[in-house]
Structure 1
Amino acid sequence: MPPTPTPARTHHLLPTPAGRTHAVQQGRQGPLVLLLHGFPESWHAWRHQLPALAAAGYRVVAIDVRGYGRSSKPESVEAYRMLDLVADNVAVVEALGERSAVVVGHDWGATIAAVSALTRPDVFRAVGLLGVPYTPPGGPRPSEVFAGMGGEGAGEEFYVSYFQRPGRAEAEIEPDVRGWLAGFYAALSADTMPAPGAPDPHFVGAGGTLRERFPAGVLPSWLGERDLDVHAGEFERTGLTGALNRYRNMDRDWADLAGYAGAPITQPSLFIGGARDASLAWLADAVKAYPETLPGLCGSHVLDGCGHFVQQERPDETNRILIDWLASLPA
């Protein structure tokens, strides 16, 4: 028997509170799996998962989060608060004619997926988190936490605080989007990240830029020139403000989600991280707390020799873990 052909990939613009959300679908039948990318990427970050999950029998949809790619980009900073992104995800599910979905996210997408599952368990029946562990809402105000995260040198500023001031990061990135993205991806990937003891690329020196700490002239093995062109082309067209506005709403999210302080996610869940991803070091306590915060956890996988971009650095292993997990979920 000839092999079953992989379902075709189709693009859609779906009505959502953002305006319209660009969704890329592969597979027309089977349970719906919604994929959410992180910063600074697009649906294209899931290019390896779309065909694999579709071939495994799932209806897989990767979106451009509002502010990215071909999705709408509301003007106000406040339009990028977390609950607005959750509303977009619910609307995508409804626009596809479904009542529920499994939601999987990477980086910021992991946090958006987690809050989607937390606040709308009626829609999101399971959640997969890649790169960024789940931390329940609550605790100190985020801006105060990040302001207190100094680097090794005097006057160093954590990248999240750097991103929070409108216009500052745009002024660094937008004159050379492609070059900046190449350096950012290299700085967080296992095979190209700075050596131990080098200036930490997650911090900005006094009067400096993030880019001056990025590796130069090298691409990580998972990123081809053509894939870099895809990401750069989208941001050259849209600018970075929509993407960066996610960082500018963290205090608003803290207030919006106060009613969920300390709340666990009870649906079936999955975590996949890279052993060389700084997020795991910063959030080690969050991983230790999984028995309380993710009581439905089906598996927690830390991939040796992997950096931040889990599903792109290690696509085959990520696909296998995702497919096994999806197959284990209740119908």
Structure 2
Amino acid sequence: MPPTPTPARTHHLLPTPARRTHAVQQGRQGPLVLLLHGFPESWYAWRHQLPALAAAGYRVAAIDVRGYGRSSKPESVEAYRMLDLVADNVAVVEALGERSAVVVGHDWGATIAAVSALTRPDVFRAVGLLGVPYTPPGGPRPSEVFAGMGGEGAGEEFYVSYFQRPGRAEAEIEPDVRGWLAGFYAALSADTMPAPGAPDPHFVGAGGTLRERFPAGVLPSWLGVRDLDVHAGEFERTGLTGALNRYRNMDRDWADLAGYAGAPITQPSLFIGGARDASLAWLADAVKAYPETLPGLCGSHVLDGCGHFVQQERPDETNRILIDWLASLPA
């Protein structure tokens, strides 16, 4: 018998509270899996997972998060609160004719996926987190935490604080989107990140820019020229403000989610991280707390020699882990 062909990708603009959410679907039957990208990416970050999960019997939809790609971009900063993004995800599931889904996210998408599962367990029956561990809501105000995260040099500022002031990061990035993205991806990828002892690319020196600390003239092995063109083309068309507005709502999220302070996610869950991703070092205590914060954890995988962009740096291994986990979930 000839092999069954992989279903083709289809693009959809779905009605959501954002106005319209762009979703790329592959596979028309089987349980729905919703894929959420991080910063600074788009649905295209899941290009390796879409055909693999579809071939394994799942209906898969990777979206452009509100503010990215072909999805709507509300003007107000406040329109990018976490609960607004959760509402978009719920609407995508409904617009695709489903009542529930497994949600999987990377980077900011992991946090959005976690909060989606936490606040809407009636819709999201399981959650997969890539790159960024789950930390329950609560604790100190985020802006105060990040303001206190200084680098090794005097006057260094953590990138999250740098992104929070409207217009500042845009002024650095938008004159050369493609070059900035190439440097950002290289800085956080295992095979091109700065050597130990080099200035940390997660911090901005006094009066400087993030890009000053990025590797120059090199692309990570997972990122072909065409892949970079796709990512850059979207941001050259839309600008970066919609994407950066996610960082500008962290204090609002902290207030909005106060009622969930310390709450665990009880649905079946999965974590995949890169051993060379700084997120694992910063959030090591969050990983240790998984028995309390993710009591439904089915697997926690740290991939040796992998950086931040887990599903793109190690697509085959990520696909295998995801498919095995999905197959283990209750129907």
TM-score, scaled relative to structure 1: 1.00
The match for 1:229 is 229
Report deviation, 1:2.
0.5
Question: Take 2:96 and 2:311, find their aligned partners in 1: how far apart are those partners?
Answer: 25
Question: Take 1:8 and 1:170, find their aligned partners in 2: how far apart are those partners?
Answer: 36
What whole-Å deviation, never above 9, does each CA across 1:239-280 have from its counterpart, x for those lacking one?
A: 000000000000000000000000000000000000000000
Report deviation, 1:79.
0.1
Report deviation, 1:225.
0.3
2:113 partner SS: helix
Question: Take 1:231 and 1:77, find their aligned partners in 2: how far apart are those partners?
Answer: 23
Question: Take 1:140 and 1:101, find their aligned partners in 2: how far apart are those partners?
Answer: 32
Question: Take 1:246 and 1:50, find their aligned partners in 2: how far apart are those partners?
Answer: 25
Report deviation, 1:300.
0.0
Question: Take 1:3 and 1:190, find their aligned partners in 2: how far apart are those partners?
Answer: 35
2:104 partner SS: strand
Report deviation, 1:83.
0.1
Question: Take 2:3 and 2:30, find their aligned partners in 1: how far apart are those partners?
Answer: 19
Question: Take 1:60 and 1:227, find their aligned partners in 2: how far apart are those partners?
Answer: 21
What whole-Å deviation, never above 9, does each CA across 1:6-43 have from its counterpart, x for those lacking one?
A: 00100000000000000000000000000000000000
What whole-Å deviation, never above 9, does each CA across 1:288-308 have from its counterpart, x for those lacking one?
A: 000000000000000000000
1:45 partner SS: helix
Question: Take 1:4 and 1:196, find their aligned partners in 2: how far apart are those partners?
Answer: 47
Question: Take 1:39 and 1:117, find their aligned partners in 2: how far apart are those partners?
Answer: 20
- Report percent identity of matched pairs: 99
What whole-Å deviation, never above 9, does each CA across 1:192-227 have from its counterpart, x for those lacking one?
A: 000000000000000000000000000000000000
Question: Take 1:41 and 1:321, find their aligned partners in 2: how far apart are those partners?
Answer: 22
Question: Take 1:293 and 1:9, find their aligned partners in 2: how far apart are those partners?
Answer: 36
Alignment of 1:99-248 (within 5 A): 99-248=99-248
Report deviation, 1:93.
0.2
The answer to whether 1:10 aligns with 2:10 is yes
2:62 partner SS: strand
2:84 partner SS: helix
The match for 1:48 is 48
Report deviation, 1:81.
0.3
Question: Take 1:288 and 1:326, find their aligned partners in 2: how far apart are those partners?
Answer: 24
| Aligned-residue RMSD, C-alpha | 0.1
Report deviation, 1:181.
0.1
Question: Take 1:257 and 1:274, find their aligned partners in 2: how far apart are those partners?
Answer: 28
1:125 partner SS: strand
Report deviation, 1:102.
0.0
2:118 partner SS: helix
TM-score, scaled relative to structure 2: 1.00
Report deviation, 1:135.
0.0
The answer to whether 1:65 aligns with 2:65 is yes
1:262 partner SS: coil
2:126 partner SS: strand
2:138 partner SS: coil
Report deviation, 1:160.
0.0
Question: Take 1:173 and 1:137, find their aligned partners in 2: how far apart are those partners?
Answer: 30
What whole-Å deviation, never above 9, does each CA across 1:175-194 have from its counterpart, x for those lacking one?
A: 00000000000000000000
Report deviation, 1:230.
0.3
Please list every run of 5 or more consecutive structure 2 residues that lacks an aligned counterpart in the other structure.
none
Question: Take 1:288 and 1:19, find their aligned partners in 2: how far apart are those partners?
Answer: 39
Please list every run of 5 or more consecutive structure 1 residues that lacks an aligned counterpart in the other structure.
none
The match for 2:96 is 96
Moved over 4 A (4+): none
Question: Take 1:93 and 1:19, find their aligned partners in 2: how far apart are those partners?
Answer: 15
Question: Take 1:2 and 1:108, find their aligned partners in 2: how far apart are those partners?
Answer: 40
Report deviation, 1:55.
0.0
Question: Take 2:72 and 2:19, find their aligned partners in 1: how far apart are those partners?
Answer: 6
Report deviation, 1:174.
0.0
